[in-house]
Amino acid sequence: MPEAKENKVKFGISNVHIAKLNESDTGITYGTPFKLPGARNLTTDPEGEIVKWKADDITYFSSTSNNGYTGDLEVALLNKQFLTDILGMVVDANGALFESSDDQISRFAIMFEIKGDVKKRRVVFYDCTTNRPSAENSTVEETIEPQTDTVSLSMNPRSTDHLIKSIIEPSETNTEVYESFFDEVYERAV
């Protein structure tokens, strides 16, 4: 049987979906994922540290902590569903969007797809928080250059099982799961 080819490189980001996280005494559930179009860039930097303990003039013991990731998501324009469902903004009867100092920001899962030279990967971060977006607005000169919205993200270990993220690539055995990945937040198979 020939070996399955592995990606050598990864590139691009698309199919960003957001699912609101709800935590109660009985555990964590997610709302139906919604699409966040216009993804330009997602950076993730690991959070945690390496502790080295010295004895006998060497590193006698070392340990690491994994506190998830921090990063930035840049999109063409944050859609109204993200602004209301996640950032807690309110839309009035006339369709005007209101931001208030009382807005309650919700936790969420973020799902997206990245390409590879052989196959695409689908990724989910299970427990994310964000803040209000930074935005660019500038005058139009000779050419129209679209401006973007950027939100900072914290991708944390989930409180119930400490999961941070999952990555899946298509295979002969997971076609159905891979194809329906954005329908609901993927959970570990048993």
Average of per-residue pLDDT across 157-174: 95
| 3-class secondary structure, 180 | coil
Task: Choose among 139, 131, 135: nearest CA to 149.
Answer: 135
- Per-residue confidence (pLDDT) for residue 49, from 0 to 100: 87
Asked if residues 147 and 155 have their Cβ atoms less than 8 Å apart, the reply is no
Q: What is the pLDDT of residues 67-122, one digit of tens each?
A: 999 999 999 999 999 999 999 999 999 999 999 999 999 999 999 999 999 999 99
Element (H, E) at 178: helix 175-179
Cα–Cα distance for residue pair 31/158, rounded to 1 Å: 16
For the chain, what is the radius of gyration of the CA atoms? 20
CA atoms within 13 A on the CB side of 189: 7
Res. 134 pLDDT band, cuts 50 70 90:
confident
pLDDT score for 11? 93
Determine the pLDDT at residue 3: 62
Grade residue 136 by pLDDT with cuts at 50, 70 and 90. Answer: confident
Amino acid (one-letter) located at 38: G
Tell me how crowded residue 84 is: count the other CB atoms within 10 A of its CB: 16
> End-to-end CA distance of the chain, in Å?
26
pLDDT reported for residue 64: 87
Burial of residue 119 (CB within 10 Å: 0-12, 13-18, 19+) is: middle
Higher pLDDT, 50 or 185: 185
Q: What is the pLDDT of residue 4?
A: 67
User: What is the pTM (predicted TM-score) of this model?
Assistant: 0.89
Q: What is the pLDDT of residue 2?
A: 56
pLDDT, tens digit, for every residue of 23-79?
A: 999 999 999 999 999 999 999 999 988 889 899 999 999 988 899 999 999 999 999
pLDDT (0 to 100) of residue 145: 83
Reduced to 3 states, what is the DSSP secondary structure of residue 19?
strand
* Average pLDDT, integer, range 115-141: 91
